[in-house]
Amino acid sequence: ILLLHTCVKCVSLPEKVKIVEVGPRDGLQNEKTMVPTETKINLIDMLSASGLPVIEATSFVSPKWVPQMADQVEVMKGIDRKPGVSYPVLTPNLKGFQAAIKAGASEVAIFGAASELFSKKNINCSVDESLQRFDEVMKAAKEFGVPVRGYVSCVLGCPYEGKVAPEKVAHVAKRLYSMGCYEISLGDTIGVGTPGSMSKMLEAVSREVPVNALAVHCHDTYGQALANILVALQMGISVVDSSVAGLGGCPYAQGASGNVATEDVVYMLHGLGIQTGVDLSKLMDAGAFICRTLNRKTNSKVAQATCKL
Amino acid sequence: MGNVPTTVKHCLSYEQLIQDYPWLKRWLLEEKTNTGHEFPEFVKIVEVGPRDGLQNETEIVPTGVKIQLIDMLSGTGLPVIEATSFVSSKWVPQMADHTDVLRGIQRAPHVRYPVLTPNMQGFQDAVAAGATEVAVFGSASETFSKKNINCSIDESMLRFKEVINTAKERQIPVRGYVSCALGCPHEGYIEPSKVSEVAKSLYELGCYEISLGDTIGVGTPGSMFKMLQSVMKEVPTNALAVHCHDTYGQALPNILTALQMGVCVVDSAVAGLGGCPYAQGSSGNVSTEDVLYMLHGMGIETGVNLAKVIEAGDFICNALHRETNSKVAKARGRTLGCVSVRENI
């Protein structure tokens, strides 16, 4: 066979990627140390200064379940909101939504799971039941003109069920989208995904939800996050969730890492010539700050490498 | 051979392909749906833990431990295991026991055990100790070359020429490394054309394979793509390998990019052994476990048993009293009693 020439596939990548910073919520929620309200506020303010366009500020969930987020109202009221930056908050039910609006929230988020067992173990109801609960939140959000972001967890694997069918993920994503969520963040909750399973899942989901309404939320528990994000970008995704300093461990693999570090994501994106609007050194300042306060090492390799050179 | 039809496929239209190569239809029908990015069906892993890994560990490892590590790795299915380095023990004390290690290991059939030979002296010692494959190191950065081996790139090529010619006479294959392929701790940015120049020299001197090393791990898929594009104009893709460091967490996406461009040889180190001498406390080599997890998850064959590599990693980390750098090993070792996702074991 005559090889014509080396065929380097021209991969088109997005020019811009929107980073959704989940450190203050998803990150801190999975940290054992209780973080004082003022520290949380300082962290969010530093992140606002780094150019991040979206910063998930807190969660209006019952403090009985998530004590770390008990100071939700003070955090929401205490932060310095930078114009042009969104500060979505989690609202698992109507009560949480109402409290969020009262505290000044202008964007909220809801969570569905792609795994029945995970849904039952996590929030004590089936996937369909959980989506019905969110119907009330969606209605209220529409009335208030508040945009809602939808999360799907366990998109590449479940700690209880193991493999998760891409069609199931697509089904849940489609439901959330048709309910009115403007964006669906697909979460590899236990970080087991690889470029193989990521591309199969995204193929299935992008048949049901427009790709510009999709985001990926990759966990780095098996070191696969950046590779998975790269594949997602190659498939047209241009919204990536990450957590400063890689805050937040994995509750299903003790001691292992969880969220992918924002610094490492930004380093990769900038290296690809993709714009994010983020100032990496200011971002690293925020990461250094929160790690000092938590008295823990950063999970970001970029932060580890850079500060030693 | 298995990768050839897929490469051709991208150059021609479907109709024309089927017309010209009727037997291809079966290949195309059997192809699994994917993103449309073709990957090699098989990737050769070159395990550099016992040499590159241990060389960069501060604790001196007893000879018996090195031998046991290599023997454990030999049982995992890894096709190539870089065993040691015949460099002066004055410069690299960790490798002082090179002869004992090479003589002490139990060589598995179908596994190759290359050793580093920076000069003729080293080469002769290596052959005397029973080496059947050697490797030489060039640099894409002049400053790095001068600081690392005390001579310019051109001077180093002359040294290697001697080694390679002698190796040819003895029918000993030589692998060539190019360090600083994506950046230099002294010079910073390295022009892709410089990398291709050095890669080409080594290839033309007679190296059968050129491993392109991101020595300080600063590369990203962007710079990896540009560098490989340049090198692939001078050296055939099937003679290329990537040696990525994970200092900035970029190793796996960089490897993925290389695979998408047709590279099918990847260097890695069990447990991510070996730090980075240019960023104290940071990681160096990418972990073999994490690479395998990714490749297997993509349906790429390697012939390697991940669980056995994890065992070898556990062994050496215990011996070194240190934690593994492999996220896969960390997660596997600590998963609470839930169903583990079996797809990748």
Q: Note the pLDDT of residue B108.
A: 97
Contacts of B33 in chain A (CB under 8 A): 200, 203
Q: Note the pLDDT of residue B23.
A: 54
Tell me how far apart the alpha carbons of residues B243 and B137 are, in angstroms, rounded to a whole number: 12
For residue A193 the two structure tokens come to 């995904």
Alpha helices by DSSP H, listed for B2-61, are 4-11, 14-20, 24-30, 54-55
pLDDT band at B277 (very low <50, low <70, confident <90, very high): confident
Task: Let me know: does A277 contact A51? Beta carbons within 8 Å.
Answer: yes
Does the pLDDT at position A122 exceed 90? no
User: What are the CA-CA distances from residue A80 to residues A30, A34, A60, A87, B143 (Å)?
Assistant: 24, 22, 19, 11, 48
A216: left (phi over 0), alpha (psi -120 to 50) or beta: beta
pLDDT band at A1 (very low <50, low <70, confident <90, very high): very low
Mean pLDDT of A270-275: 98
Check CB contact under 8 Å for B248 and A223: no
- pLDDT tens-digit series, residues B41-72: 999 999 999 999 999 888 899 999 999 999 99
Check CB contact under 8 Å for B343 and A163: yes
Give A208 to chain B, closest Cα distance, Å: 17
Task: Let me know: does B98 contact B115? Beta carbons within 8 Å.
Answer: yes
Tell me how far apart the alpha carbons of residues A305 and B8 are, in angstroms, rounded to a whole number: 41
- Name the helix (H) or strand (E) containing B175: strand B174-179
Check CB contact under 8 Å for A227 and B294: yes
By mean pLDDT, which of A199-208, A214-223, B26-35, B299-308 is the weakest? B26-35
- What's the one-letter identity of residue B108? A
pLDDT band at B25 (very low <50, low <70, confident <90, very high): low
Check CB contact under 8 Å for B256 and A252: no
Check CB contact under 8 Å for A192 and B260: no
Q: Note the pLDDT of residue B91.
A: 85
Q: Note the pLDDT of residue B136.
A: 97
DSSP assigned state of B60: P
Contacts of B237 in chain A (CB under 8 A): 6
Q: Note the pLDDT of residue A249.
A: 77
Give B104 to chain A, closest Cα distance, Å: 34
Tell me how far apart the alpha carbons of residues A73 and B74 are, in angstroms, rounded to a whole number: 58
Check CB contact under 8 Å for B334 and A253: yes
What is the count of residue pairs from A and B with beta carbons less than 8 Å apart?
184
Query: Which among A199, A222, A271 has CB closest to B290?
Result: A222
Mean residue pLDDT across chain B: 88
**Which position has the token pair 């067992």?**
A117
Length of chain A (residues)? 309
Give A89 to chain B, closest Cα distance, Å: 29
User: What are the CA-CA distances from residue B79 to residues A132, B43, B162 (Å)?
Assistant: 54, 10, 27
Mean pLDDT of A118-143: 91
Check CB contact under 8 Å for A230 and B38: no
Query: Which among B248, B287, B327 has CB closest to A305?
Result: B248
**Which position has the token pair 């980073």?**
A19
Closest of A193, A197, A252 to residue A223, by C-alpha = A193
Q: Give the orientation angle of helix A127-144 with respect to helix A116-123, to 10 degrees.
A: 70
Contacts of A163 in chain B (CB under 8 A): 341, 343
Contacts of B250 in chain A (CB under 8 A): 226, 264, 267-268, 271
Closest of B284, B242, B290 to residue B266, by C-alpha = B242
Contacts of B261 in chain A (CB under 8 A): 6, 8-9
Check CB contact under 8 Å for B287 and A223: yes
Give A301 to chain B, closest Cα distance, Å: 5
- pLDDT tens-digit series, residues A28-65: 998 888 999 999 999 999 999 999 999 999 999 988 88
- pLDDT tens-digit series, residues B106-137: 999 999 999 999 999 999 999 999 999 999 99
Contacts of B327 in chain A (CB under 8 A): 220-223, 256-257
Longest dimension (CA), chain B: 64
Does the pLDDT at position B28 exceed 60? no
Give the DSSP letter string of B67-128. Answer: HHHHHHHHTTT-SEE--EE-S-TTT-GGGTTHHHHHHHS-PPTT-B--EE--SHHHHHHHHH
Give A194 to chain B, closest Cα distance, Å: 5
For residue B149 the two structure tokens come to 């081996």
- Outline where DSSP puts E strands in B22-65: 44-47
- Nearest-5° angle of CA A264, CA A269, CA A272? 130
User: Which of A6, A252, A297 would you mutate first to test chain B, the one with the most B CBs within 10 A?
Assistant: A6
CB within 8 A of A181, min separation 6: which ones?
A110, A138, A148, A149, A150
Does the pLDDT at position A297 exceed 70? yes
Check CB contact under 8 Å for B282 and A304: yes
Closest of A240, A274, A223, A3 to residue B225, by C-alpha = A274
Predicted TM-score (pTM) of this structure: 0.90
What residues pair up with A151 in beta bridges, in sequence order? A111, A185
Residue A244 burial (CB count, 10 A): 33
Does the pLDDT at position B21 exceed 70? no
Q: Note the pLDDT of residue B29.
A: 46
Q: Note the pLDDT of residue B16.
A: 59
Check CB contact under 8 Å for B330 and A267: no
Mean pLDDT of B245-249: 96
Check CB contact under 8 Å for B223 and A271: yes
Give the percent of chain A with pLDDT over 90.
85
User: Which of B23, B196, B293, B298 would you mutate first to test chain A, the one with the most A CBs within 10 A?
Assistant: B298
DSSP assigned state of A155: T
Q: Nearest residue of B to residue A228 by CA position?
A: B253
Q: Nearest residue of B to residue A235 by CA position?
A: B35
- pLDDT tens-digit series, residues A4-33: 233 334 468 999 999 999 999 999 998 888
Does the pLDDT at position B5 exceed 70? no
Tell me how far apart the alpha carbons of residues B13 and B302 are, in angstroms, rounded to a whole number: 31
Tell me how far apart the alpha carbons of residues B89 and B23 are, in angstroms, rounded to a whole number: 56
Mean pLDDT of A159-182: 96
Does the pLDDT at position B204 exceed 90? yes
Mean pLDDT of B174-185: 96
Closest of A2, A20, A200 to residue A109, by C-alpha = A20
Q: What are phi and psi of B299, to 5 degrees?
A: 80, 15
So what's the ipTM on this one? 0.93
Give B9 to chain A, closest Cα distance, Å: 9
Active site residues of B: 276
B249: left (phi over 0), alpha (psi -120 to 50) or beta: left
Does the pLDDT at position A308 exceed 60? no
Mean pLDDT of B209-216: 97
User: What are the CA-CA distances from residue B43 to residues A65, A140, B266, B299 (Å)?
Assistant: 46, 53, 7, 11
Query: Which among A192, A234, A256 has CB closest to B341?
Result: A192
Alpha helices by DSSP H, listed for chain B, are 4-11, 14-20, 24-30, 54-55, 63-74, 98-104, 120-128, 142-149, 153-169, 192-205, 221-231, 251-260, 288-297, 306-320, 327-334
CB within 8 A of A216, min separation 6: which ones?
A185, A186, A188, A198, A228, A229, A232, A237, A239, A240, A241
Longest dimension (CA), chain A: 69
